[in-house]
Amino acid sequence: MERLIKLLTYTLIISGTIITLCPAGLCEEPTMQQLTTPQNVSYDDCTKDYNMPAEKLYYLTLASISANRFEIKEMQSKTGYILFKAGGKEYLASVVYYGLNKSMLKITPVNNNYYFAPGIVSNIFKYIDINVDAKVEQIPKT
């Protein structure tokens, strides 16, 4: 099987960027270089549906942005948006309410230029996926 993958995999180097082409399902996950190299990101990769209340998704998104050490510029919990800066660009994370336990997270660049490192968006989604079962609770004031 490994020989077949090596035969079907092609590696191109364009302007210092390594691009690996292979049939779907045969390649491994993207490497760190592929996640941090700026490239055109599709709008569909910037949105994700979740089976959780919008309020919980908002707080998990806020925690994810903080955990990834992105700079939070502005946030508003009532409308469900977070404006943050990562990699020298500003992004808007919007939580959309669909129903009691259905919501969507949309992360888009403020300037509508979708040429950026896809790791910014995928790392936020991964953090939320890992912590989806975490309980959101209020810490009492001391």
pLDDT at 4: 39
CATH assignment of the domain containing 81: 3.30.310.80
Per the structure, how many domains does the chain have? 2
Mean pLDDT over the full length of the chain: 79
Residue 111: pLDDT band (50, 70, 90) is very high
- The mean-pLDDT minimum among 28-42, 77-91, 92-106 falls in 28-42
77 and 60 in one domain? yes
Does 59 reside within a domain?
A: yes
Q: How far apart are CA 113 and CA 19, in angstroms?
A: 21
Range of the domain at 109: 38-130
Other beta carbons within 10 angstroms of residue 120's beta carbon come to 23
